[in-house]
Amino acid sequence: MKQILTILTLVLTFGLQNLKAQQGEITETFDKYIRATKSEDLDEQLDYYHPEIFNHFPKDTFLLAFEMLKSNPMLQVGNEKLVSISEIYSENSSSYALLTFTQEMSMDMSNMKDQGGSSTAISYMLIELKQQHGEDNVKFDDDLYLVVITMKNEFYAILEQFSEEWKFLPKDDDSKSIIENIIPETIRKKI
């Protein structure tokens, strides 16, 4: 009986250590992805996305969107924080998890400051943003005319059998058909 308890303890300890190691790998990959979003090499960001996404959305489309975002002085995205990583599930030699993170998007509205009707337009925009992101996640600085939105995002993290690193797939409506092709339904129901 004592041997069985010892073996069970060892198996549970090993399982927890393996889970923590995999979550550490996801965190490390996410951190590298965030560093890539700050780099000048826009292609580098794409290395962290699951390759299947590019069968539905061309890389050029992503690169154009990234370039437009980076070159727009009125928009700034940053302050990314990993909030949680779900339990990791495996099926068919692949592993899956869901990670949740927040990021802030700042919109500089100072060019509207002295224009007639700008306060009404901004008020309507703030109402819409608060409905989308939540009352507490949208702030407006009256002095700077700066809107700051804290957005909650989710990525599926996927480690396939022959992959060396976790890949990400946004959990959103635009990616739904891709998600359904890549992540088994039994896994999607769990995470």
Please name the fold of domain 2-190. Answer: Nuclear Transport Factor 2; Chain: A, (3.10.450)
Q: Are residues 191 and 26 in contact, defined by beta-carbon separation less than 8 angstroms?
A: no
Query: Strands (DSSP E) along 109-164, which ranges?
Result: 138-141, 146-159
Q: Give me the pLDDT at residue 121, please.
A: 85
Contacts of 29 (CB under 8 A, 6+ apart): 48, 157, 165, 166, 168
- In order along its 191 residues, the chain shows pLDDT tens digits of 556 544 444 343 444 444 467 899 999 999 999 999 888 788 889 999 999 999 998 999 988 988 888 888 889 998 999 999 999 999 999 999 999 999 999 999 888 877 776 788 889 999 999 999 999 999 999 889 899 999 999 999 999 988 889 999 999 998 899 999 999 999 999 99
Q: Is the sign of the CA dihedral 16, 19, 24, 30 positive or negative? A: negative
| Single pTM value for the model | 0.79
**Domain layout of the chain by residue ranges:** 2-190
pLDDT number for residue 117:
66
Tell me how far apart the alpha carbons of residues 32 and 53 are, in angstroms, rounded to a whole number: 19
Instruction: Provide the pLDDT for residue 20.
Output: 66
